[in-house]
Structure 1
Amino acid sequence: MLTTRQRLIQAAAQGFADHGIQAASLVEITRQAGQRNRGAVHYHFRSREGLLAAILDEHADFMAVRQGELLARAMQQPDDDVTSVIEVIVRTCVEVAESSVGGRNYLKIVAELAEQDPATYTPEVKAALVRSGGYQVYAVLMKRALEAVDGLDEEVRDHRILQMTSFVLGSIARRVRSLDSAGSPGSRPQLDTARFVEDLIAMASAMLLVPVPVPGVAASV
């Protein structure tokens, strides 16, 4: 039997995934968790951000272990190889998203967080993300991107990595939604998991590896 804390986390993960982290109603989350006390969230987690951190922590151990395994393999590749590092991100996110309803909700929440400025994360949320191992992966990716692309500066690199991350997480989140609605009118067919993963890795890598544009050239074409 789930504890009150676990029921609140489960209900909040669904609410945050469906309606957005800030838009989801804490009162409705409390109701969905079967609690009559409207202060249950604040009693157990102190704040919306504390509840968010608890949701992230639910999957932090899996993410840390799996990303650690794949990153160790990526570290055996040359210092300019970004594809093996992107594979760490893609595979772990797909695996957690396809593991359970909770995993799918987690992925949708992380996809929303990726659109926000990391400087706005609360210490609780940042600590939960650090525990997942993602910061280590991105540190390697940032270094290798500079090695891989001639003329790439840190500003453009950071822009590319942000866009790539948004693309990857958004693609996985859309796939999850499509799989959830499979068979309903208007639903699109989906690639099988293996092909989806390989194609997403290839597309994400291309986003980082495209040559740096020469100023003025694109405008004159």
Structure 2
Amino acid sequence: MARQSEVARGALMDAAEELYGRDGIDQVSNRRIAERAGHANHSAVAYHFGDRDGLIAAMLDRYTEQAEPSRAEMLAALGPDPTLVELLRCLVLPAVRSLLDRPAPCWRARFLNQVRATPSTAALLERPVAGTSATAAIMAATGERLRHVDQPVLNGRGWMLTGMVFEVCAAYEAEVAAGEREPDSAALGCFLTDAAAGLLAAPVTAPGGFAPDPTLIHL
């Protein structure tokens, strides 16, 4: 019975990724998701997740849980004094792989970008997620290497970085789906890592910054 429930939950999450990623969060009903997942019971989302936000939270947790083991492995392989680029690679590359290394057609990057861009769901990205000790360690070490950057500036750059990664991955995913690009998530992850390091450690010519979100990075 538990196995059946997990299969049903996975099918609903997969269906929601596609519909949300293609049509937008607020344009998709729970009934459409249930139908797309092959459920005759149109209340399947409510039964398994409580409501729409519960469904989306479970989808975000699934994404984080898939990225975390790779982050832990990469972090453990670093030397005693890793560079900023090495630390950010541990953060960014597993995130990119979790988004894009999936059977086609893949909608996960576009789904996450829709969550970020939709006012009614953006706050779900800020929820604390259990079992993310590697991510926390990477963030802490990254912050140590950026102590020379004023916190308001760093907050603003972190907010910009989150948007950049989500937007680029969503556009990349769409191009791969359209047959316009051969997939290479490792190359994209390295490209984004280099851009992230440049953005976060750039010279500061004026105090202050713009940061609607006080947390450094949401990946």
Category of TM-score, reference length = shorter chain: 0.7 to 0.9
Deviations 1:101-158 (A, max 9, x none): 4894333333444557999339xx824x444554443333233222xxx4x2111101
Mind listing any 5+ residue stretches in structure 2 that lack a counterpart? 208-219
Contact 1:96 1:107 in 2 (8 A): no
3-state DSSP of counterpart to 1:121: helix
Distance of aligned partners of 1:21 and 1:143 in 2 relative to their CA distance in 1, 3 Å threshold: farther
Residue 154 of structure 1 aligns with an amino acid whose one-letter code is: Q
Residue equivalent to 1:145: 146
Cα displacement (A) at 1:190: 6.0
Distance of aligned partners of 1:36 and 1:190 in 2 relative to their CA distance in 1, 3 Å threshold: closer
Residue equivalent to 1:170: 167
Residue equivalent to 1:106: 108
In 1, distance between residues paired with 2:105 and 2:64? 11
TM-score if structure 1 supplies the norm length?
Answer: 0.74
Distance of aligned partners of 1:9 and 1:199 in 2 relative to their CA distance in 1, 3 Å threshold: closer
Provide the alpha-carbon RMSD of the alignment: 3.2
Residue 21 of structure 2 aligns with an amino acid whose one-letter code is: A
Distance of aligned partners of 1:74 and 1:168 in 2 relative to their CA distance in 1, 3 Å threshold: farther
3-state DSSP of counterpart to 2:107: helix
Cα displacement (A) at 1:3: 3.5
Residue 205 of structure 2 aligns with an amino acid whose one-letter code is: P
Q: Which moved more, 1:97-106 or 1:36-45?
A: 97-106
| Equivalent runs, 1:67-86 vs 2, <5 Å | 67-74=71-78, 76-78=80-82, 81-86=83-88
3-state DSSP of counterpart to 1:36: coil
In 1, distance between residues paired with 2:117 and 2:131? 20
Paired residue total: 201
Contact 1:97 1:107 in 2 (8 A): yes
Larger-gyration structure (1/2): 1
In 2, distance between residues paired with 1:67 and 1:115? 26
Distance of aligned partners of 1:174 and 1:48 in 2 relative to their CA distance in 1, 3 Å threshold: same
In 2, distance between residues paired with 1:180 and 1:172? 12
Distance of aligned partners of 1:107 and 1:73 in 2 relative to their CA distance in 1, 3 Å threshold: farther
Cα displacement (A) at 1:192: 4.4
In 1, distance between residues paired with 2:80 and 2:21? 36
Mind listing any 5+ residue stretches in structure 1 that lack a counterpart? 216-221
In 1, distance between residues paired with 2:105 and 2:69? 15
In 2, distance between residues paired with 1:135 and 1:104? 28
Deviations 1:151-199 (A, max 9, x none): x2111101111111211222122111111111xxxx4x56844443332
In 1, distance between residues paired with 2:188 and 2:73? 21
Asked whether 1:121 is paired with 2:113, we answer: no
Residue 176 of structure 2 aligns with an amino acid whose one-letter code is: L
In 2, distance between residues paired with 1:179 and 1:54? 26
TM-score if structure 2 supplies the norm length?
Answer: 0.75
Q: Which moved more, 1:111-120 or 1:8-17?
A: 111-120
Distance of aligned partners of 1:26 and 1:100 in 2 relative to their CA distance in 1, 3 Å threshold: same
Cα displacement (A) at 1:29: 0.6
